[in-house]
Structure 1
């Protein structure tokens, strides 16, 4: 069955360009002129299911970011590639953080668009296909030795957690979403005297409010409408073991009252039961909320807070433990190489690790893990490189390496040094580089172009920095073509947007150069 892509753009010309590029690649294309129309198309069960959305960020009415947010709120999880005009990187970064897979710049380059779509669908297929994961449960393999702790902040956390594991004291782990609170909880449980007992997890924020009591404490058959069989509840299931109450701050106030009694007395009342049941449970809780503020605001019971937070541990966000980013990335790479059967990947390059270490990771370890997963699925070379992390490069404000790769003309100065025959009018500069290298002279080793020849060596006889040569080449071209910027860009083999970015980068004023010429 053909893959269907929904293009969302208020400009008919842009929709046509995208439709032609995608149709040639064998995709079925549906179109929407607005965000509102896109949501209707996604919800319309009478039409073909949408596999991917190509979404323009700048539209009247509901713009791209609002449309993307509405898609996620309504449960539409299709991969999204955003369209942006030149210079709209702030919106692109916001879209990436909201969950967009990648972006393309208008006017759409067909090959770039087809590559983005192929990569997005490839990752989506891997996510929805059952993974070949190890059979062992996380509880069986997670210990303190499995927690990466090269940073001082994480080393302190593990030292404190080991002390907590030596007793049955109630522990609460505080930290942002994705920092690894459950992994730490499992490590504590596995280092305790209950290591061979059950580790039962309850996500308090994911339980419907009307089912909290039944899920935590159980119910008898016929206790309420829909109770067709008896359920023992999580407390009884965790008897003699550890109960991990994740996102405890999201528990409704009514349920907090009954939870307090269970924690204090070690007794639970199943819904519809005639008598209580004694349980012996070790409590570990976790939250991304500031529970002290929640107590002050009346959203969390003060007595329950003090019962659960006898031993608080704060998990630092990944941006506060940057020393751990590289080893975590290497660990995830090895793991996904095994599980995804990507034996051609031997590791991750230092340049890519440096890129990952510069990023702040608002989604913390979970986001890093997902990013490595995407890279492993899409990588074709023997190592993960910066080009395999385009979203991170985008959010750091630098253009993704894969986009640069698809626009090879932007690397014109590198081509001057490596393959001058491809650059037409720049051959004279390449020849000058060779001549200057072979016959250096004091006149040619300055920082100016003389009669169209560019010095390759500085006054000390060392090869000059590529940026210096690039700047002088641009200055020379502006002077040579009388400030005709379209001609300058064409002769240098780069786009006008790239040329103007270079002018800004080097502080070049074309008017001054033209007037001086």
Structure 2
């Protein structure tokens, strides 16, 4: 079995020992870089390669800068990469010194490959889980920074560089990118890296608010301002006072609200519904959209003057299919989180061929879709490692063979059923109401494919096909109804009408279930 691919730095002054360790670690599916001494290792960890290592295997006895010296420098430089120390002297005092200096595990030379692999696998899992917990905590407290974002992609490094530059000012930022690429995470990092860090960051999904409530939710209202306004309501702009307001799917705002948003940006004040005078607000605005706002401007759906107010500092986040080098690290972090949340600690790694499968897929739902795929795989897995068999939907989309232990229906019927039997003059004709011969479609089609024939071999009704397509779209886009409607080419009101008509709830399941 091959385990999940990590990036390991081996530090040893003995060339034979370095080569032996390299062979063991690479055989387990990990990527390896070598350092001949402690000074070279420190240089690699604080230089341009600083973010490239998931784990360090460190020899304790080396000339000039020994293992304890490397650990001390790592602590001084605030390098949190987990470390396995190796020593030929297994005295308790050596082990205690190494652990006190920051090492997470130790091995005695010569180390057995099985022992080293167990240590590497456990530390990668713990490191990933700690990283997830740290990110959640920082995002909740408004202290998330760009150093907390998982990426090894040059295109994303450029995004982070732009974000760092923008964080130092209050310039309005427009983040563009497909759904699920991490726009809110970048917004959180901008907020947590600037002068407003630890201040409130208020997030509003403009596409999820009913049109008749948008103005009230954003700008607030006074008591009695309209029917049903039983008490005063503070809007999102006032909630974000002193901090950051993040408007996701800003292109969904109705025209009248766009006018009020423009005034808020120009005058730094808002007009709550029913208020006698405007209210001053101090906020940093970050907007995001999964569409090209300039196209909406050309179509007359978005105000041109507001567009130029929002688009002062544009940041475009590339889709996951254009930065596939991020997939292994993302998959490992999702695996660590979900194995802990689902109380399945035995599911601790992912095979290299499964990672190859994930990297070959184009991920139309981006990081959010990858997250859901790993979540599903962890829930269904009973082994220690995720394999290709745990990603049947991805395998089916790529026409990738999987083992008989986890069957997925073929996208097309067997060869012998694809060809209609030749008619003969002596053969009786089938009556239209009679079931047709087996077509090979009696089993469910894999995710992403739609059957055209029913279990009896007759053409399916259009309404059944449409209902199935809607369920598939809801699952594919994780219940984001704006995106579902957009991809189906219908309006949101039409989508909700069809959900009611077909008895489907917003999770894609039968409402009556």
Q: TM-score range by the shorter chain?
A: 0.5 to 0.7
**1:211-226 equivalence runs, <5 A:** 211-226=213-228
Indicate the residue corresponding to 1:314 in structure 2.
Answer: 316
- 1:275 counterpart = 2:277: yes
Counterpart CA distance in 2 for 1:407 and 1:383 is 18
Equivalent residue for 1:205?
207
- Say if 2:152 is the partner of 1:183: no
Alignment match, 1:389:
391
Distance in 2 (alpha carbons) for counterparts of 1:345 and 1:354: 19
> Cα offset for 1:406?
5.3
- 3-state secondary structure, aligned to 2:222: coil
Higher relative contact order (CA 8 A, sep 6+): 2
Does residue 139 of the first structure (1) align with residue 140 of the second (2)? yes
CA contact (8 A) 1:139 1:186 kept: no
Compute the TM-score of the two structures, normalised by the length of structure 1. Answer: 0.52
RMSD of the alignment, in Å? Answer: 2.3
Deviation string 1:213-254 (CA, Å, 9 cap, x unpaired) is: 111100011111111111010000000000000000111111
SS at match of 2:405: helix
Residue 97 of structure 2 corresponds to none
1:372-401 deviation per Cα after TM superposition (whole angstroms, max 9, x unaligned): 011111110001111110010001112444
Q: Deviations over 1:338-381 (max 9, x none)?
A: 22211111211111100000000000000000110111111100
Taking a change above 3 Å as real, the CA distance of residues 288 and 153 of structure 1, as seen in their structure-2 partners, is same
**Residue of structure 2 equivalent to 1:227:** 229
Size of the alignment, in residue pairs? 278
Say if 2:264 is the partner of 1:265: no
Q: For the residues of structure 2 that align with 1:258 and 1:195, how far apart are their CA atoms?
A: 27
Whether contact under 8 Å (2:151, 2:329) holds in the other structure is no
- Give the Å deviation of 1:185: 0.3
Does the alignment pair 1:256 with 2:258? yes
Name the structure 2 match of 1:165. Answer: 167
Partner of 2:366: 364
Q: Secondary structure at the residue paired with 2:287?
A: strand
SS in 2 for 1:244: strand
Is 2:135–2:144's contact at 8 Å kept on the other side of the alignment? no
State the partner residue of 2:300: 298
Map Cα deviations across residues 422-472 of structure 1 (whole Å, 9 max, x no partner).
xxxxxxxxxxxxxxxxxxxxxxxxxxxxxxxxxxxxxxxxxxxxxxxxxxx
Structure with greater proportional helix content: 1
Please state how far the C-alpha of 1:139 moved relative to its aligned partner: 3.4
What's 1:337 paired with? Answer: 339
* Structure-1 separation of matches of 2:163 and 2:134: 28
Matches within 5 A, 1:446-461: none
Structure 1 residues 374 and 160: alpha-carbon distance in aligned structure 2, compared to 1, 3 A threshold: same
Secondary structure of 1:223's partner? coil
1:207 shift after superposition: 1.1
Cα distance in 1 between the residues matched to 2:388 and 2:191: 38
Going from structure 1 to structure 2, the CA distance change for 1:298 and 1:245 (only over 3 Å counts) comes to same
User: Secondary structure at 2:227's aligned position in 1?
Assistant: coil
2:492 aligned partner: none
Give the Cα–Cα distance (whole angstroms) in 2 for the partners of residues 249 and 357 of structure 1: 31
Cα contact 2:144–2:193 (8 A) shared by 1: no
Q: What per-residue deviation string (whole Å, max 9, x for no partner) do you get for residues 79-129 of structure 1?
A: xxxxxxxxxxxxxxxxxxxxxxxxxxxxxxxxxxxxxxxxxxxxxxxxxxx
Call closer, same or farther: CA 1:310–1:162 in 2, change over 3 Å: same
Are 2:245 and 2:285, in contact at CA under 8 Å, matched by a contact in 1? yes
Query: CA separation of 1:259/1:299 partners in 2, compared to 1, >3 Å: closer, same or farther?
Result: same
Measure, in 2, the Cα distance between the counterparts of 1:133 and 1:395: 34
The runs of at least 4 consecutive aligned structure 1 residues that moved more than 4 Å come to 132-135
- Give, in whole Å, the separation in 2 of the partners of 1:349 and 1:283: 42
**Contact kept? 1:139, 1:199, Cα under 8 Å:** no
User: What is aligned with 2:405?
Assistant: 405
Contact 1:217 1:268 in 2 (8 A): yes
Local SS of the residue matching 1:216: helix
Quick check: which has more Rg, 1 or 2? 1
Q: Residue 135 of structure 2 contacts residue 148 of structure 2 at CA under 8 Å; is this kept in 1?
A: no
Deviations 1:173-228 (A, max 9, x none): 00000101000000100001100110000111111111111111000111111111
| Runs of 5+ unmatched residues, structure 2 | 1-132, 411-438, 441-513
Determine the structure 2 residue equivalent to 1:509: none
Q: In structure 2, what is the Cα distance between the partners aligned to 1:155 and 1:133?
A: 21
Check whether the contact 1:351–1:386 (CA below 8 A) recurs between aligned residues.
yes
5+ residue gaps, structure 1, are 1-131, 411-495, 498-517
Aligned residue number for residue 54 of structure 2: none
**Cα 1:353/1:199, change in 2 over 3 Å:** same
Rate the CA distance shift 1:386–1:298 in 2: closer, same or farther, 3 A: same
Answer whether contact 1:291 1:300 (CA < 8 A) is retained. Answer: yes
SS of equivalent residue, structure 1 residue 392 = helix
Task: Note the C-alpha offset of 1:405.
Answer: 1.9
- The answer to whether the 8 A contact 1:391-1:400 is kept is no
Q: SS state of the match for residue 312, structure 1?
A: strand
1:200 & 1:228 partners in 2: Cα distance?
24
Residue by residue, what CA displacement relative to the aligned partner does 1:498-517 show, whole Å, maximum 9, x if unpaired?
xxxxxxxxxxxxxxxxxxxx
